[in-house]
Structure 1
């Protein structure tokens, strides 16, 4: 994902005229259309959605400066969009990690959903859905920037960066969940493959400490 958090340009002014809010009737709990095993290396084929009713992309001046703005109001946990046009890819700044061994290119305007340490969305990869952050009591409002917490899906990022989201809980350097403190990660929704990789990491560290202590 191109990290909007590292832009040098000031945010663009809001467009003239008031954006009419589109209120969704979708409930916050929706049965998934498919699921992905933690070790999957394939992606399901779904119908490509019309994202133009859900988000607006703003191309600002400067490197990595594009961002996306919500056009809809949704409650916490609601499905914002389904990931319907992905292709397997190598780990890159535009890719999303879908499982331990699978990275995808989104091939849609969802790629403009940038990083924030106080995200409005989550990427629920087992369900191939982008959903409103379930921990966000106020939900998602039209006009808000669409963001997610990169380490929630990315284990070891190909292009680390210094976050400038300016949130009170900004975590600074973002390089993936692999190098982030456990107490920080515990405050965020994490994809199952990240939870699994963290468990493996703790097990390796624990075994390593045990070997040293017994030596």
Structure 2
């Protein structure tokens, strides 16, 4: 189900995270093929539960590896959470107002599940749009960010407050 690995798996970038940052929570399955690595849960959690706090982030600029935290702000995760890919049927949400990753409402997370989130829930205008290949029955196709998505589609997802505010200002 993985669709977009936010970090190419070059040896130089692999060395940035020499040891797992969440060894009790997730496993990174790395691939030498660009955009094919992914993060997988090592634990079972109920719907809505906290998966991990985001604690190693640093301010960043808009980039394919960053996560948007406000209308004009981005962070670099600096952790294995960067391997959480996009899916149109996500397993977690990245709540940037609380700096945490939670299991989606409506279904539990099981050990072995891919850790995926809906990129437009954090991103207004993607640095690198891509054609989604998540395979979900609700796959949205070209992912460019919340700015270009119909309101009825976005209404099916949990969205960060900064995305909701930007939608109101459109």
Query: With structure 2 as the length reference, what TM-score do the two structures score?
Result: 0.88
Q: Which protein is richer in strand relative to its size?
A: 2
Equivalence for 2:117: 148
SS at match of 1:53: coil
* Contact 1:6-1:162 at 8 Å conserved across structures: no
CA displacement at 1:54 relative to structure 2: 0.2
Equivalence for 1:92: 63
Pick the aligned partner of 2:52 from 81, 84, 105.
81
Which consecutive aligned stretches of 4+ in structure 1 deviate over 3 angstroms post-superposition? none
Equivalence for 2:82: 111
Equivalence for 2:95: 124
CA displacement at 1:6 relative to structure 2: 5.0
Query: With structure 1 as the length reference, what TM-score do the two structures score?
Result: 0.70
CA displacement at 1:4 relative to structure 2: 3.8
Greater Rg, structure 1 or structure 2?
1
Alignment: residue pair count: 156
SS at match of 1:51: coil
Query: How far apart, in 2, do the equivalents of 1:105 and 1:125 lie?
Result: 12
Pick the aligned partner of 1:159 from 101, 112, 128.
128
Q: Which protein is richer in helix relative to its size?
A: 1
CA displacement at 1:180 relative to structure 2: 0.6
* Gapped regions of structure 2 (runs ≥ 5): 6-19
Pick the aligned partner of 1:194 from 156, 160, 163.
163
* Gapped regions of structure 1 (runs ≥ 5): 8-48, 202-215
Query: How far apart, in 1, do the equivalents of 2:4 and 2:126 lie?
Result: 15
Query: How far apart, in 1, do the equivalents of 2:21 and 2:84 lie?
Result: 16
SS at match of 1:103: strand
CA displacement at 1:5 relative to structure 2: 1.1
Query: How far apart, in 2, do the equivalents of 1:63 and 1:50 lie?
Result: 21
Does residue 1:71 correspond to 2:69, yes or no?
Answer: no
* Contact 2:4-2:85 at 8 Å conserved across structures: no
Equivalence for 1:5: 3
Query: How far apart, in 2, do the equivalents of 1:199 and 1:85 lie?
Result: 31
CA displacement at 1:100 relative to structure 2: 1.3
